[in-house]
Structure 1
């Protein structure tokens, strides 16, 4: 008999087949109708559930499954899983740190280039017959610009590596503590990092500890020639402050793969023509998704065999 697996994060059949090949039976739960149907069939017996940091899992949802033992976050984030409730129930909670770090870093660099070089705006201008008008504007190069990385975990390190290597960008960073294995400039104060940098790439975890870390004061410190790129979590940025900073020229522009309250995007933010958007796809390269699913399977297999899981979420 195959082990049921409720999947709350949307996945292509290719990846659901990987679970099937590992002796699991995945049930789609990311659409309401499918979720209701799955619950009717497997809720009383379900032991393993797959979600994501942005989708999360509430205490009330956990209570739906009396035999639940394990919750997996697909990807590095796990901020919207109720960890207090999970601990109280004795659930094993895992995540996928590092599995998509390279791909997310690639996307961050694409957003830095796209935002500073106004790639999306240039494409729109050409399509609208405004070739000559758009050419009159000057667009800064990123080579040699100072790159500030907000959070130097696995993804932040990859962003720093790309910026310092291919583009000769001096690197500064914030983290809980300075890293002894890098020679980048450490800033204990995020606002001091913003004041130093030409470009900020956000690579922090989400959650209460980083909520609105990028606020009006931070954006003021980044300045009118500064650019902001977010491939982490939308909650890290105070959206109202960002809109005001973009409208008034406090900063030069932003590249956003994640937005607070996504998938809804405030109309005032959409109206800012110095923003390049992508719909939370930084880690959606096939190689990255495959690696995160493989790690999830390894964690499930370890748990079912009575062994320690490979990547438990850190105790808070």
Structure 2
């Protein structure tokens, strides 16, 4: 039996790779020295791409694959993909938000606690001997009774909300549209920031959300506010955040993602009021294995003629004919 042809843009976890190699004819774009040549030779035979969000799927690649029907992505984010080109061609896209939901939500809470309770400077205080020399570490801030604002109420946003509520925080959220949820919807982002003690950002990346968190949002969050980003670095106006943190207009930030990765702006990393994590919210063995498995399972469902397990709605990117 002939195995379906799949263009592999990014290697996956070992177990997933074994399944991909067993069930598909893989064309290793990721290993090819001449990537244009492998697209020219095999692009027309491949009906699916297997990749992750750090390997761009651009318009030229889509054009080089005339029979492409599916892009199966093993990450939640796909802001490096030309989704308009996919939508125009009717190419389906799947991602793995459901697989990484809990670990990303846990990381958001870890950053929240770490920043509010001074985990990193507290660790340094003990290691340096300052505790013995200088006495009690400065008092920190409690979370119970505070307001947790969440920007983006998708699967992960809701998981963060449940965790925040369980800790005694009042949860409010901003989203492009309200949802039937037990937490208060706030349609104005500035108002949400002004009413929040801690603001977690968990929206999709891409041009539609670039600099969504700008200077006005940070000023509204204020000198006692904490800004947490577990989304994409592009969602925050980073130069404006550096200025706000430096000038005391924003109290603190706890960040898993940055505008320039893996080399964040040294002006940011030098600030004492930031808690930093290396874009590793989904970085556990269990979750990365589950993400890769979901990529494999989506490919299997597609080639079996079954419904995709985690499709992304691309209808908003489809070209609509002009009214006549």
* TM-score, structure 1 normalization: 0.88
Distance 1:279 1:34 in 2: 31
Distance 2:164 2:156 in 1: 12
1:152 is aligned to 2:157: no
Shift of 1:134: 8.3
Distance 1:118 1:38, change over 3 A: farther
* Partners of 2:40 and 2:122 in 1: CA distance: 51
What's 1:13 paired with? Answer: 14
Q: CA deviation at 1:86?
A: 1.8
Q: Which has the higher contact order (CA 8 A, sep 6+)?
A: 2
Distance 2:135 2:194 in 1: 30
- Deviation readout 1:216-239 (Å, 9 max, x if unpaired): 110111011110111111111000
SS in 2 for 1:147: strand
Q: Deviations over 1:121-163 (max 9, x none)?
A: 2223433443345844222122222110111110000000001
The equivalent of 1:123 in structure 2 is 123
CA RMSD of aligned residues (A): 2.6
**Structure 2: how far apart are the matches of 1:276 and 1:34?**
41
Where do 5+ consecutive residues of structure 1 fail to align?
none
Aligned residues: 313
Alpha-carbon offset, residue 31 of structure 1? 6.7
Mapped contact 1:125–1:134 kept (Cα < 8 A) = no
3-state SS of the aligned residue for 2:99? coil
More displaced 10-residue stretch of structure 1: 5-14 or 236-245? 5-14
Whether the 8 Å CA contact 2:39–2:61 is kept in 1: the answer is no
Q: Which deviates the most, 123-132 or 72-81? A: 123-132
Question: Counterpart of 2:107?
Answer: 107
Q: Which moved more, 1:93-102 or 1:132-141?
A: 132-141
* Mean CA deviation greater in 144-153 or 113-122: 113-122
Q: Is the 8 A contact 1:16 1:26 kept in 2?
A: no
Please state whether the residue corresponding to 1:98 is helix, strand or coil. helix
Residue matched to 1:97: 97
Structure 2 matches for 1:201-220, cutoff 5 A?
A: 201-220=200-219
Larger mean CA deviation between 273-282 and 301-310 belongs to 301-310
Q: How does 1:176-195 map to 2 (within 5 A)?
A: 176-180=176-180, 182-195=181-194
Residue equivalent to 2:225? 226
Structure-2 change in CA distance of 1:45 and 1:107 (3 Å): same
Shift of 1:187: 0.7
Q: Which runs of 5+ in 2 are unaligned?
A: 317-324
Q: CA 1:9–1:275 in 2, change beyond 3 Å: closer, same or farther?
A: farther
Equivalent-residue separation in structure 2 for 1:107 and 1:7 (angstroms)? 29
1:261 aligns with 2:260: yes
Return the alpha-carbon distance in structure 2 between the equivalents of residues 295 and 277 of structure 1.
29
**C-alpha displacement at 1:38, in angstroms?**
6.7
**Cα deviations by residue, 1:153-211 (Å, 9 ceiling, x for unpaired):** 1000000000111x11110101122222x221211101101101100111111122211
Corresponding position of 1:288: 287
The aligned counterpart of 2:273 is 274
